[in-house]
Structure 1
């Protein structure tokens, strides 16, 4: 099923322009770059050190669990390694495929932004979905890797949102209202 979905995405969406766009989008997820930028924004511009700290914590915890534990235990080869007809469209990653770290980190950070509210929830969700799709499009993850990454990220993000609420009351939304 994974392979069939990847073939369909390749047939329907692949073009030089789309590949350039997907490479750019997947770059947002490299080392949690987009989410770290959001943390800096909250820290320096919004002066919301708490949200900034939880965004960074989401990136660190998700990377630690996903890449240092789950990927090592599962050790699934990437699609381009097992299907010559699906060559990697970016520099070939060397880590295991399952679950997608870019996706897990993105969905964990998205949960923090979603809890914050306002337009941040939609920026976070849209970015996380685009990053997840880019990983399949670029042939570096199977759809099931991305789905598992979503689940890992949502679980970690939900735990962090709960911790945020326990540690400091309700989250302030982008409009200054309480969520």
Structure 2
């Protein structure tokens, strides 16, 4: 399985360095993708139609985001995978990271947002967020900072987080009504 992971990673990262414009887009996607997604979620707080449900989903996506990143920290206690550029697998387009590679925090965060929207029945928005998440995840391999399997692991932790939040944070509860009534 490692051989396939390396082959896919090398293939995607092999696209880098061929087109300076594409390199710049992928670097920007990697760097600014998550803040833009968070802003896109936050700006929906003042949506008019179906306000209570939308706000519930926004809170759920934020909780999924945070829980996904927390799960990643637990995984990192047991899996210490070095970055692909340190293994000579990829060429790096950005500064080195000090932490381990598996799973990708960027992919987890973005996919957790998308999964929360999808699991709460907001399919159109969820698909837009998932498209953005896939682009962010792809950019992480493209720029050389993650293996393809790091993205698959991130998708698993993102889905686990979104499912856990879906089960634990129920719409219409007293806490939900209190939180969604803010502002």
Structure-1-length-normalised TM-score: 0.80
Q: Pairwise CA RMSD of aligned residues?
A: 2.2
Corresponding pairs, count = 164
- Name structure 1 gaps, 5 residues minimum: 170-179
Q: Is the 8 A contact 1:23 1:90 kept in 2?
A: yes
Structure-2-length-normalised TM-score: 0.79
- Which residue is equivalent to 2:75? 70
Q: State the shift of 1:92 in Å.
A: 1.5
Q: State the shift of 1:158 in Å.
A: 2.1
In the alignment, the residues of structure 1 paired with residue 94 and residue 5 of structure 2 have an alpha-carbon distance, to the nearest angstrom, of 20
CA gap 1:38/1:3 in 2 versus in 1, 3 angstroms: same
Residue 43, structure 1, aligned to residue 42, structure 2 = no
Q: Is the 8 A contact 2:68 2:108 kept in 1?
A: yes
Q: Is the 8 A contact 1:39 1:51 kept in 2?
A: no
Q: State the shift of 1:12 in Å.
A: 4.5
Counterpart among 162, 167, 177 of residue 162 in structure 1: 167
Q: State the shift of 1:22 in Å.
A: 0.9
In the alignment, the residues of structure 2 paired with residue 168 and residue 121 of structure 1 have an alpha-carbon distance, to the nearest angstrom, of 21
In the alignment, the residues of structure 2 paired with residue 38 and residue 158 of structure 1 have an alpha-carbon distance, to the nearest angstrom, of 21
- Name structure 2 gaps, 5 residues minimum: 174-183
- Aligned counterparts, 1:1-179, within 5 A: 1-12=4-15, 14-29=18-33, 32-46=34-48, 47=51, 48-66=54-72, 68-83=73-88, 86-114=90-118, 115-164=120-169, 166-168=170-172
CA gap 1:127/1:140 in 2 versus in 1, 3 angstroms: same
Q: Is the 8 A contact 1:63 1:101 kept in 2?
A: yes
Report 1 or 2 for greater relative contact order, CA contacts < 8 Å, sequence distance ≥ 6.
2
Q: State the shift of 1:107 in Å.
A: 1.3
| Secondary structure at the counterpart of residue 37 of structure 1 | helix
